[in-house]
């Protein structure tokens, strides 16, 4: 079996934020990226970070020719957080915190104080879909690293309407692709130095619905490449930093864990966290039997680890106090690329992520154009 990809917090998306935080004069405890630091040292008038959800190395190489504009400007392959999912990765990107610090590990999290699995972005019980008050979460919303900086750069954000921001007065909300690109151009057209943090929800949505190698996903990724090339050619004295929160892989089949009564009898509550990285809270005294049963039943598609073991090995970062939210065990999806269905309402996706295979690899693409360039 191919080796799973181990998180590397010296060459990860967290280190993009660490480098930008240091550049803007924000506090930083994480390693920086020398290649990005060198480019930032050129003193661009505008610095724009663009995060495209799901635009990992695997989707790029599956849908673009090697001579494509984006691949030609790929400067470094970085790694996502684990689980490699939007909930976890975007929190690390926005806050410059390690997963073990912020605790937003996955889509569905078990909160001991509530004794519920909660879809934390949507504020609903994962099994019943009943509403859960956001204020009852034992997780706070950390400040973004650029929220309170004393910098020579004015701060701008370009977010869809569902992204929280502490400073709505400097946020540009978009509803359409054209509005996204126009907002970036508007920010960079302001007088003075401008820093822009922009998040775009594609191609993640298209790949979930149609698959990574589908014509629909290919079109979306090609359109992003074309738009970035046009933006680069239009801009002057601007550095575009392009990356992703995670990648995706095509799903080859579905594992209905919620139907396995023997499995569920070992557990205090439904499996939670993510479809390719499910976490389990096991009844006391049932641990050995659970391990034996799980490995026999699911060992081809998932590798079972103790949560404490992964924490100790640094899979969630070297510091933080949120390990208690990870349950007792975590099953890591293998290169069979199966999706676990954790509850009866789990959605079957054609493309997915969250594990430690190809979806962990993301690009660092640097598009810098200074005034002297023709």
Containing H/E element for 110?
Answer: strand 108-111
Q: What is the residue-averaged pLDDT of the chain?
A: 96
Q: What percent of the chain has pLDDT over 70?
A: 99
pLDDT value for 127: 86
In order of their start, the domains of the chain are: 13-104+140-248+357-369 (3.40.720.10), 252-348 (3.30.1360.180)
At 374 the pLDDT is 40
Which residues lie closer than 8 Å to 34 by C-beta, 6 or more apart? none
| Res. 263 pLDDT band, cuts 50 70 90 | very high
The structure tokens 């922009």 sit at: 198
HSE toward the beta carbon, residue 66, CA cutoff 13 A: 0
Least confident of 23-32, 129-138, 297-306: 129-138
Tell me: the pLDDT tens digits for 162-214? 998 999 999 999 999 999 999 999 999 999 999 999 999 999 999 999 999 99
Beta bridge partner(s), residue 48: 196, 240
Is residue 372 very low, low, confident or very high in pLDDT (cuts 50, 70, 90)? Answer: low
- Look at residue 113 in the predicted model and tell me its pLDDT: 87
Pairing between β-strand 154-159 and β-strand 171-173 as defined by DSSP bridges: parallel
User: Does residue 255 surpass a pLDDT of 90?
Assistant: yes
**Quick one: pLDDT at residue 369?**
83
Q: Are 13 and 93 in contact (CB under 8 A)?
A: yes
H-only helix segments in the chain: 13-24, 34-40, 57-63, 69-72, 86-95, 99-102, 177-188, 204-210, 215-234, 261-265, 287-298, 307-312
Angle (CA) 316-322-324 rounded to 5° is 105
Residues 6+ apart with CB under 8 A from 259: none
Question: What mean pLDDT do residues 90-110 have?
Answer: 97
Q: Which of 136-140, 279-283, 287-291 has the lowest mean pLDDT?
A: 136-140
Contact of 204 with 107, CB cutoff 8 Å: no
Provide the residue count of the chain: 374
Give yes or no for a contact between 333 and 300, defined as CB atoms under 8 angstroms apart: no
Please state the pTM of the whole predicted model: 0.96
pLDDT for 371 equals 75
pLDDT > 90: percent of the chain: 91
**Rounded to a whole number, what is the largest CA-CA distance in the chain?**
70
* 174-183 pLDDT per residue, tens: 999 999 999 9
Q: What are phi and psi of 280, to 5 degrees?
A: -135, 135
Nearest in space to 221 (alpha carbons), one of 204, 233, 234, 208: 204
CA distance 123 to 110: 12
Q: Half-sphere exposure of residue 146, counting CA atoms within 13 Å on the CB side?
A: 29
Identify the residue with better confidence: 282 or 121.
Answer: 282
Q: What is the pLDDT of residues 26-65, one digit of tens each?
A: 999 999 999 999 999 999 999 999 999 999 999 999 999 9
What is the C-alpha to C-alpha distance for residues 252 and 337, in angstroms, rounded to an integer? 6
- 202-228 in b/e burial notation, b at 16+ Cβ within 10 A? bbbebbbebbbbbeebbebbbebbebb
Q: Quick one: pLDDT at residue 139?
A: 86
């Amino acid at each position: 079996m191919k080796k799973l990809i181990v998180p590397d917090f010296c060459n990860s998306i967290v280190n993009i934020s660490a480098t930008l935080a240091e550049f803007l004069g924000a506090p930083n405890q994480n390693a920086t990226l020398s290649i990005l630091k060198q480019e930032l040292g050129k003193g661009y008038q505008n610095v724009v970070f663009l995060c495209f959800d799901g635009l990992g190395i695997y989707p790029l190489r599956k849908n673009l020719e090697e001579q494509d504009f984006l691949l030609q400007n790929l400067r470094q392959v970085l790694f996502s957080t684990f689980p490699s999912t939007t909930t976890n990765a975007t929190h690390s990107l926005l806050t410059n915190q390690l997963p073990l610090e912020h605790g937003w590990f996955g889509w569905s999290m078990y909160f001991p104080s509530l004794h519920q699995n909660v879809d934390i972005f949507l504020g609903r019980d994962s099994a019943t879909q009943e509403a859960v008050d956001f204020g009852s979460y034992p997780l706070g919303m950390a400040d973004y690293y650029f929220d309170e900086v004393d910098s020579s750069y004015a701060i701008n954000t370009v977010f869809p309407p569902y992204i929280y921001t502490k400073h709505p007065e400097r946020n540009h909300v978009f509803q359409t692709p054209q509005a996204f690109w126009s907002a970036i151009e508007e920010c960079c057209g302001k007088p003075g130095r401008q820093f822009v943090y922009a998040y775009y929800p594609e191609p993640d949505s298209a790949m979930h619905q149609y698959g990574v190698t589908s014509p629909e996903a290919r079109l979306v990724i090609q359109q992003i490449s074309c738009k970035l090339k046009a933006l680069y050619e239009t801009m002057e004295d601007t550095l575009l930093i392009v990356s992703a929160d995670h990648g995706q892989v095509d799903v080859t089949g579905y594992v209905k864990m919620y139907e396995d009564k023997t499995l569920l009898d070992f557990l205090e509550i439904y499996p939670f966290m993510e479809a390719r990285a499910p976490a389990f809270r096991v009844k006391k005294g049932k641990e050995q039997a659970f391990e034996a049963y799980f490995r026999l039943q699911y060992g081809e598609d998932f590798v079972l680890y103790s949560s404490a073991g992964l924490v100790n090995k640094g899979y969630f970062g070297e510091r933080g106090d949120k390990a208690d939210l990870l349950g007792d065990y975590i099953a890591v999806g293998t290169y069979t690329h199966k999706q676990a269905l954790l509850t009866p309402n789990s959605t079957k996706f054609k493309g997915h992520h969250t594990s430690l295979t190809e979806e962990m690899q993301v690009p660092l693409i640097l598009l810098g154009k200074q005034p002297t360039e023709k």
